[in-house]
Amino acid sequence: MRAISQINIKQVAILSLVLLLSINIKAQDRPNILWLSCEDISPYLAMYGDSTANTPNLDRLANEGYVFTNVFATVGVCAPTRSSIITGMYPISIGTMHMRTGNDVMSWGNRTYPIKGKARDINGDPVPKYSAVIPDYVRCFTEYLRDAGYYCTNNQKTDYQFAAPVTAWDENNPKAHWRNTPKGMPFFSVFNDGITHESRMWKNKKLPQTVNPDSVPLPIYFPEDSIVRQDVARNYSNIEILDHNIGKKLKQLEEDGLLENTIIFFWSDHGGPLPRGKRLHYDSGLRMPLIIRIPKKWQKQFSYLPKRDDELISQVDFAPTILSLAGIPIPDYMQGQAFMGKQRADSARKYVYGSSDRFDEFTDRIRTVRDSRFLYVRNYHPELPSYKDIGYRKKMDMMNQMLYLHSMGLLNRDQNYWFRLKKTPEELYDCEKDPENLHNLIYDPKYQDKIAELRGAMDKWLEEVGDKGAIPEKQLFLQMWPNGVQPITEKAIVKVNHRKVELSCNTKGATIGYIVSDKDFTPDLNSGWTHYYKPFKIKKGQFLYTISQRIGYKESEIIKVHF
């Protein structure tokens, strides 16, 4: 893991040269990679010991693949954590830690940013919507895949805290599919299923309840209550729908004859949607499922045997791992490490790290470090309550019921723990003896050595990644958007020498997309832009279209050149 201030920017240029060589590798010599991602589920699945939901398709993946049991999100909510997935960087390091910066949730994003909003920073200053401007050397990792000859499709959630650049994906819309991959190319294809999202707890209320509320297990921090049981059962019922949808995708792979040439990842973006899950920095909010199926033809190459693995893995490791599996050099700036493939890290992680900043209309600042057994929490604002009265979450019946029971004094100690009005400056939990993180050991003299160890690991991590959380969000926004105005990417510069086109842009960190067409037309974001990384030839009479964008900036105008 590298500190931002120590990054060698030349790494990006060197990587591009290596990618030129990798394109010549035949498609059959490289695996297809499929991500089946979902939203808001903790490991509430049979392969993790919870067989409440009937999930035959996920069970199949687990039986044929690799079940990882200690995988953690970087943040307990979608947009910040998805920024770490697409970049291989910690949100606190690149300024994407606040939920949510803009409305760029699906496909290429809304790309409009209202001045007024509910968000306020730690000082109470209002924060408008914005697209986060990340360091100029950081890329969406899919650009490296595309440069190496992979066809990359996303269907269709992005939610990266910035509008996805057109260079990130070949397809990025509701129709994106590996079935559109040109012949001879390997694919990296993503399908995100929203059926288990928090919002489906109320939106799916009228759907059949396939799991009996009377039979669902309740965490000890939930009260025994019929309304609570109904919502917990709804969550498990949604998981059963998710499993059915996963089965459809597996069937499509088999129909296409691609199952045995495709590495499949199944993962959630963070912990479950129920109260004290999503948004929380405890295991209930950060721990997530991960199953990987690698076909037999690739198992030997990746030293892989189907089994369970309890090594610590962070979401920030996903990007470098995909590059490792695809045989693409991992950029030196990435803060994650590969846990599979030829570039697998020499040693497994000793720690995983998490963060919590603004969630919707409430701001706090919390950092966590976890080893294989203990969770250490640092509260920068212990004077603030643990529970955040987030309006979106109160659309859930059980959240309102828990608030009512709390107000009436009907919750026990464990159920009340979330509602404490102040926090200790630090917390420590034994996740083996106390998996629900309810008994704070920070003042227990028996654990002072462990506390000192984790405190030191936290300090080292924060220094390495350059935590931007100390900067109030309004100030951070103004650093990204001077005077509150979104910067605009400059147009590409086109140079031609003997019908060979070279493109450049004076905006530092901008990527350039281009289209060569025999016919004149009006391209848009969905027109299929090629990521420029080397000069290319063009014929007389053809049309060249270019668009430039630095992440967080407004994209340039599309320019057209007729040859």
**Which positions are catalytic?**
78
**Per DSSP, which regions of 262-307 are E strands?**
262-268, 287-293
DSSP state of 163: P
No. of helices (H) and no. of strands (E), the chain: 14, 20
Longest dimension (CA), the chain: 80
- What residues contact 487, with CB distance under 8 A and at least 6 apart? 133, 481, 550, 552, 553, 554
What span, in angstroms and rounded, lies between the C-alpha atoms of 543 and 560? 7
Within 13 Å of residue 383, how many CA atoms lie on the same side as its CB? 1
Which runs of consecutive H residues, i.e. helices, occur in 369-522? 397-407, 413-416, 448-465, 473-480
Helix (H, G, I), strand (E, B) or coil at 48: helix
**φ, ψ (nearest 5 deg) of residue 258:** -115, -5
**φ, ψ (nearest 5 deg) of residue 41:** -130, 130
Distance of CA 298 to the CA centre of its chain: 26
Q: Which one, of 139, 192, 138, lies nearest residue 168 by Cα?
A: 139
What span, in angstroms and rounded, lies between the C-alpha atoms of 45 and 527? 40
Q: What is the residue-wise DSSP string for 489-536?
A: PPPPEEEEETTEEEEE-SSTT-EEEEEEESS-----TTS-PEEP-S-E
Distances (CA, A) of 14 to 138, 153, 329, 501, 502: 14, 26, 10, 21, 18
Question: How many other CB atoms are found less than 10 A from the CB of residue 434?
Answer: 15
Confirm if 292 and 62 have CB atoms less than 8 A apart. no
- What residues contact 7, with CB distance under 8 A and at least 6 apart? 135, 137, 332, 333
